[in-house]
C-alpha cells in the first residue's frame, strides 16, 4: 500500500510538471496567445506566480477527493492546507509589493489605476460567475428560487459577499465549490486596492508612519484579530510586500552569495510547506519563512534560473486564469467522470495529469479571449 503522503507529493509534482510540459510542447505557438514581457527587474516574481496558481490547483484536487467521498470540503492535514495557504500568502505579498511600490515611487492616477484593476479582475470573474450559475442551474432544485433571489445572489458574488448559503443560486448548496471557493481572496485584494489612496496620503509624507502602521498590523495579526470580516493575518501579508519593496527595491545579489541565497530560498519555501500554522508560534514561523522567501525573490534569487525560464513566465502570465478557472475544470471533470464508491486516493489521483493539462489549455483560452480583451478595454477607457 502506497503511503498517503507520497500520493500527496505525487499529485503536487504532477500538477506542476504536466502544465510545464504542456507549455513546452506548445512552444512558440503560444507567443501569439500569451505574449510575455521583456526581461524586467523582477523576473523571479513573474516566474513564481504560475507555480503558486498550480499549487492552489493541486490543493483543491486533493480536497475534492475528500469532498466527493466524505462530503467535507477540508484539507486532510496541515501539509495539504499549507500548499494552498502558502500560495495565497505569496500572492498577497506580491500584490502588496507591486502596489505599495506604485504609491511609494510616484503619484498614481487613481482613476486610471482603478479602471485598469476593474478590467483586469472582473471580466474573468464574471465568466467564473457564469460557470457557477450554469452548474447551479443544472444541479440545483430551483424550488422557490425567484428573480429577486437570483439578483441578490448575483450581487453577493459581485461584491464578494458570499458565505454559507448566502450567494447560492437555484438552491444549490455547493455553489461556491464550482470554482473551489477561490473568490474569497479577491475580497482581500479589493479591500487593499480601495485602501491605497488612504495609504498614499498617510504614508507618503513620512515612512515612519508606514513602519509604525505595519508594526501595529503585525501585533493585531499575532492576536488573530478580524476587521470587517477580514482576518488581519492576511492583511499583514500586503504590508510584508510593502516592506520588501522599501528595503530591497534596489538590492541585487550576484555571484557566490546569490548561489547561497538560492539554497536558503529553497529551504525557506519547503519549510513553509511543513510548518504547522495551527499554533501562534507555527503561524508566525511560517509567515516569516514566506516573507523571507519572497524577499530573496526580490533580490533576484530564482531557484538557480528555474523561475526565469520562459516556460515559467508563461505560466505566470496565465496564473490568474489558472487560479480562477481550475475549480470549474475539476468540478466539471468529476461531474462527467464521478468518483466511484470505494475509489482510493491513488486511483483518484490518476486523473491529475488530465486535469492539469485541461486547466492549462482552458487558461490559455480564457487568458487570450477574456483577460487580454479586458486589459485592452481597460487601457482604452483609462486613456
User: Percentage of the chain with pLDDT > 90?
Assistant: 85
- The closest of 113, 261, 131, 254 to 194, measured between CA atoms, is 113
Phi-psi region of 138 (alpha: psi -120 to 50; beta: other; left: phi over 0): alpha
Q: What is the pLDDT of residue 158?
A: 96
How far apart are alpha carbons 189 and 113 in whole angstroms? 14
Which one-letter DSSP state was computed for residue 253?
A: -
How many residues are given for the chain?
Answer: 383
How confident is the model at residue 3, as a pLDDT? 84
pLDDT at 223: 93
- Enclosing H/E stretch for 226: strand 226-227
Q: Report DSSP state, residue 231.
A: E
What DSSP line would sit under 259-309, residue for residue?
HHHHHHHHHHHHHHHHS-TTSHHHHHHHHHHHHHHHHHHHTT--TTTGGGS
Q: Is the pLDDT of residue 1 over 70?
A: no
The Cα 187–Cα 32 span in angstroms is 32
Please say whether the dihedral angle defined by the alpha carbons of residues 102, 103, 107 and 110, taken in this order, is positive or negative: positive
| Distance in angstroms (rounded) separating the CA atoms of residues 266 and 170 | 46
Banded pLDDT at 39 (limits 50, 70, 90): low
Q: Which residue has the cell 495529469?
A: 353
Containing 316, the helix (H) or strand (E) segment is helix 310-317
pLDDT at residue 383 is higher than 90: no
If one counts every other C-beta atom within 10 angstroms of the C-beta of residue 6, the result is: 10
**Mean pLDDT, residues 338-355 taken together:** 95
Alpha-helical segments (H) within 71-181: 78-105, 110-139, 147-158
**Average pLDDT of the residues of the chain:** 94
User: What residues pair up with 226 in beta bridges, in sequence order?
Assistant: 231
* Averaged pLDDT for residues 11-27: 95
Written in H, E and C, the secondary structure of 18-37 is HHHHHHHHHHHHHCCCCCCC
Residue range 229-251: mean pLDDT, rounded: 95
Angle between helices 4-26 and 352-366 (to 10 degrees): 40
pLDDT of residue 38: 66
131 pLDDT more than 70: yes
**pLDDT number for residue 252:** 87
The vertex-210 CA angle with 252 and 275, nearest 5°, equals 65
What lies within 8 Å, CB to CB, of 86 at 6+ separation is: 55, 269, 272, 273, 286, 290
pLDDT at 209 over 70: yes
Amino acid 250: pLDDT: 87
**So what's the pLDDT on residue 165?**
74
* Spatial CB neighbours of 209, under 8 Å, sequence gap ≥ 6: 202, 203
The rounded distance, in Å, linking the Cα atoms of 71 and 144 is: 25
> Band of the pLDDT at 364, cuts 50, 70, 90?
very high
β-bridge mates for residue 159, sequence order:
none
Which one has a higher pLDDT value, 70 or 37?
Answer: 70
Other beta carbons within 10 Å of 295: 23
pLDDT value of residue 167:
86
Return the pLDDT at 305. 92
Measured between alpha carbons, how far is residue 37 from residues 26, 31, 43, 252 in Å? Answer: 18, 11, 9, 20
Kindly report, residue by residue over 136-192, the tens digit of the pLDDT: 999 998 776 889 999 999 999 999 999 877 889 998 989 999 999 999 999 999 999
Question: What is the CB neighbour count within 10 angstroms for residue 369?
Answer: 15
State yes or no: pLDDT of 92 exceeds 80. Answer: yes
Q: Quick one: pLDDT at residue 40?
A: 61
Q: Enter the C-alpha cell of residue 232.
A: 488581519
| Mean pLDDT computed over 302-325 | 95
Amino acid at each position: 500500500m502506497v503511503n498517503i503522503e507520497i500520493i500527496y507529493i505525487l499529485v503536487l509534482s504532477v500538477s506542476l510538471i504536466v502544465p510545464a510540459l504542456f507549455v513546452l510542447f506548445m512552444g512558440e505557438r503560444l507567443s501569439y496567445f500569451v505574449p510575455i514581457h521583456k526581461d524586467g527587474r523582477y523576473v523571479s516574481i513573474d516566474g513564481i506566480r504560475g507555480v503558486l496558481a498550480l499549487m492552489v490547483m493541486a490543493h483543491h484536487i486533493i480536497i475534492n477527493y475528500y469532498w466527493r467521498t466524505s462530503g467535507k470540503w477540508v484539507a486532510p492535514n496541515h501539509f495539504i492546507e499549507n500548499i494552498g495557504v502558502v500560495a495565497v500568502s505569496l500572492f498577497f505579498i506580491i500584490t502588496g509589493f507591486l502596489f505599495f511600490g506604485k504609491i511609494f515611487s510616484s503619484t498614481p492616477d487613481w482613476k486610471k489605476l482603478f479602471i485598469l484593476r476593474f478590467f483586469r479582475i472582473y471580466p474573468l470573474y464574471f465568466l467564473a460567475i457564469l460557470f457557477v450559475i450554469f452548474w447551479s442551474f443544472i444541479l440545483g432544485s430551483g424550488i422557490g428560487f425567484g428573480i429577486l433571489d437570483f439578483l441578490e445572489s448575483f450581487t453577493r458574488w459581485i461584491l464578494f459577499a458570499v458565505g454559507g448559503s448566502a450567494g447560492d443560486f437555484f438552491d444549490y448548496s455547493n455553489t461556491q465549490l464550482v470554482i473551489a471557493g477561490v473568490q474569497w481572496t479577491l475580497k482581500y485584494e479589493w479591500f487593499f486596492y480601495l485602501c491605497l489612496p488612504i495609504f498614499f496620503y498617510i504614508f507618503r509624507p513620512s515612512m515612519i508612519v508606514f513602519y509604525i502602521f505595519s508594526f501595529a498590523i503585525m501585533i493585531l495579526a499575532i492576536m488573530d484579530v478580524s476587521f470587517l470580516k477580514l482576518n488581519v493575518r492576511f492583511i499583514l501579508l500586503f504590508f510584508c510586500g510593502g516592506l520588501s519593496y522599501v528595503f530591497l527595491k534596489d538590492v541585487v545579489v550576484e555571484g557566490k552569495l546569490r548561489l547561497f541565497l538560492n539554497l536558503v530560498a529553497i529551504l525557506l519555501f519547503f519549510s513553509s510547506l511543513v510548518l504547522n500554522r495551527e499554533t501562534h508560534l507555527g503561524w508566525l514561523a511560517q509567515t516569516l519563512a514566506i516573507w523571507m522567501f519572497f524577499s530573496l525573490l526580490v533580490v533576484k534569487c530564482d531557484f538557480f534560473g528555474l523561475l526565469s525560464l520562459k516556460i515559467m513566465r508563461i505560466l505566470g502570465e496565465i496564473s490568474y486564469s489558472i487560479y480562477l478557472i481550475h475549480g470549474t475544470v475539476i468540478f466539471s471533470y468529476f461531474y462527467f467522470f464521478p468518483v466511484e464508491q470505494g475509489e482510493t486516493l491513488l486511483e483518484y489521483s490518476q486523473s491529475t495529469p488530465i486535469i492539469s493539462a485541461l486547466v492549462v489549455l482552458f487558461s490559455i483560452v480564457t487568458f487570450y479571449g477574456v483577460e487580454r480583451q479586458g486589459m485592452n478595454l481597460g487601457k482604452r477607457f483609462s486613456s
